[in-house]
Amino acid sequence: MEETLQGKHAVVTGAGKGIGRAAALALARCGAKVTAVTRTQADLDSLVQECPAIAPVCVDLADWAATEAALRDVGPAHLLVNNAACASLQPFLEVTEEQFDRAFSVNVKAVLHVSQIVARGMKERKHGGSIVNVSSQASQCALRDHAVYCATKGAVDMLTKVMALELGPHQIRVNAVNPTVVLTDMGRVGWSDPEKARTMTSRIPLGRFAEVEEVVNSILFLLSDKSSMISGVTLPVDGGFLAC
Ligand code: NDP
């Protein structure tokens, strides 16, 4: 996608690996100033080596106070990608309190908190903005062993809609992308077994998993002015999975 984001500042969470890292690099290629937030310093070091213009912020987003402190000085942002998430899979009857709390802290609470920090600035400066939450097809379809993950992504979809409702009057658009499986580190945890992968791809009309770039392109579209009248949507990037 040829889109210039010159003069825009984008914050991307979970930018150390996978979709977040690719989104940070793509935003920088589009001319945006990029702040990359993640919790593993080595990932930030290699990211900055690859693209020296990217500003790194190292923080565990599950820590509310540390997040507040880490993001205090990132400056005015026009664009936000809430991408960081964790996925630990277990049968429903074996889910522990610790697994539940960890997943909700990162996948939901941090989305709310980082969005509050960034959107308050957008509102104060009255320049509007665009926020994209990275949800999942798992928000709308039950997947075995994904009880907690599915619940967090269902919460992200609803949070996206309420944020769109309340932030819209400040010209802040809020949308979600809902990808099918992408074979990143996270995707490989659940879907590297060929038999399991086949059961999923057989339910996807396009017959394959998504590529990282296909998710990033959808994020770029929703961040950009090309989607200037779109807010509150949960956009499947799933080859048709959720349509069936
Ligand atoms: P990866 O596991 O490859 O990357 C996730 C990134 O988020 C890592 O850099 C990770 O850092 C960071 N992160 C995780 N927890 C925290 C935290 N507490 N604080 C700061 N950073 C954190 O995941 P993907 O790229 O696959 O996933 C990106 C998004 O896409 C997620 O929201 C995921 O739910 C969603 N998604 C993924 C799908 C898939 O099949 N891959 C399908 C549908 C949606 P570290 O490695 O240091 O923990």
Mutate to test the pocket of ligand 1, among 25, 48, 159, 184 (most ligand atoms within 8 A of CB): 184
Query: Can 13 be counted among the known catalytic residues?
Result: no
Residue nearest to atom 34 of ligand 1 (CA): 85
Q: Is the Cβ atom of 184 under 6 angstroms away from ligand 1?
A: yes
What's the pLDDT tens digit per position in 85-106?
999 999 999 999 999 999 999 9
Spatial contact of 171 and 225, defined as CB atoms under 8 Å apart: no
The ipTM, to two decimals, is 0.99
What's the pLDDT tens digit per position in 127-178?
999 999 999 999 999 999 999 999 999 999 999 999 999 999 999 999 999 9
DSSP 146: B
At residue 2, the pLDDT reads 52
What's the pLDDT tens digit per position in 35-71?
999 999 999 999 999 999 999 999 999 999 999 999 9
Closest ligand 1 atom to residue 14 Cα is 7
Closest among 42, 40, 62 to 50, alpha carbons compared: 42
At residue 75, the pLDDT reads 86
Mean pLDDT of 118-134: 97
**Distance from Cα 44 to the centre of ligand 1, integer Å:** 14
In the predicted structure, residue 1 carries a pLDDT above the cut 50? no
Q: Is the Cβ atom of 220 under 6 angstroms away from ligand 1?
A: no
Q: Is the Cβ atom of 140 under 6 angstroms away from ligand 1?
A: no
In sequence order, what are the residues at sequence separation of 6 or more whose Cβ sits closer than 8 angstroms to the Cβ of residue 134? 14, 19, 20, 81, 82, 83, 85, 176, 177, 179, 215, 219
Sorting pLDDT into bands at 50, 70 and 90, what band is 3? low
Residue in this structure with the two tokens 């009248």, named with its chain if needed: 229
Angstrom CA distances, 170 to 40, 97, 122, 130, 163, stand at 34, 37, 8, 11, 11
**Distance from Cα 169 to the centre of ligand 1, integer Å:** 31
Mutate to test the pocket of ligand 1, among 12, 17, 41, 60 (most ligand atoms within 8 A of CB): 17
Go through the domains of the chain in sequence order and give each one's CATH number. 9-183+211-236 (3.40.50.720)
Q: Is the pTM of this model over 0.95?
A: yes
End-to-end C-alpha distance for the chain, whole angstroms: 28
Closest among 31, 35, 20 to 73, alpha carbons compared: 35
Average per-residue pLDDT for the chain:
97
What's the pLDDT tens digit per position in 192-234?
999 999 999 999 999 999 999 999 999 999 999 999 999 999 9
